[in-house]
Amino acid sequence: MRHFLPLDDLVAALEKLPGIGKRSAERMSLALVQDRNGLTRRLAEALLAADEQIGTCSVCGSITVTKEDPCAICTDGRRAIGLLCVVESPGDIIKIEKSHGFQGRYHVLGGHLSPALGKGVADLRVNELLGRLQPEAIQEVILALGTDVESEATASYVAEVLHSRGVAVSRLAFGLPSGSAVEYADSTTLQRAIQGRQKL
């Protein structure tokens, strides 16, 4: 079978995106090269604009427009002072913001501890977090990390460091999803739901 290098390069590039396997990348690539409505050019322009105009906030580590650093959340005077939510990635901030349930500021760690992948404390933005405590008069840090083993280890480490600095640390409550039934929950979810129970 004849190979088309530009198409192969496109497949290889798309395949590197999270959640995209080889077959999905091939389907996307074929759809793009066969499109006659300018989608390929629009996508290319959007990717270039994102590459040139989106950066990282120097304070919280989230994504921001390069002309807006610190980001809009860090500079928003309506945000609760002294309250910081620590997350693993900028995508977590987007999810939390959509819930409209948090009005403080954020700090992105940039992942979690992973000895298997060679990711240690030095690879996370822990020092930057500690550097924010006093200048921003942080009184409470909410850890909004994952529930896998590596995220749990990261949460324990960060909590220990923050406790040693006299900062109150809390963790997101984990429980049953809205609209779900007890019979469909796994044992870990049920255990956390019971531990995080609230009085009515």
Q: 149-164 and 126-133 helices cross at what angle (nearest 10)? A: 30
pLDDT at position 141 is 96
Q: How far apart are the first and last CA of the chain?
A: 67
Strand pairing class (140-143; 83-87): parallel
User: What separation in angstroms does the CA of 175 have from each of 5, 22, 28, 135, 195?
Assistant: 49, 36, 37, 34, 9
What confidence tens digit (pLDDT) does each residue in 90-132 have? 999 999 999 888 999 999 999 999 988 899 999 999 999 999 9
Shared domain check, 159 and 81: yes
Tens of pLDDT, residue by residue over 15-47, are 999 999 999 999 999 999 999 899 999 999 999
Is 94 part of any domain? yes
Task: Determine, yes or no, domain membership for 198.
Answer: no
pTM for the model:
0.84
CATH label of the domain that carries residue 83: 3.40.1360.10
89 and 121 inside one domain: yes
43 plus 97 within the same structural domain:
no
| Secondary structure of 133-189 as H, E, C letters | HCCCCCCEEEECCCCCHHHHHHHHHHHHHHHHCCCEEEECCCCCCCCCCHHHCCHHH
- Tell me the torsion sign for CA atoms 18, 23, 29, 35: negative
Q: pLDDT class for 1, splitting at 50, 70, 90?
A: very low
43 and 88 share a domain? Answer: no
Instruction: For residue 178, tell me if it sits in a domain.
Output: no
Do 41 and 122 fall into the same domain? Answer: no
Domains contained in the chain, number: 2
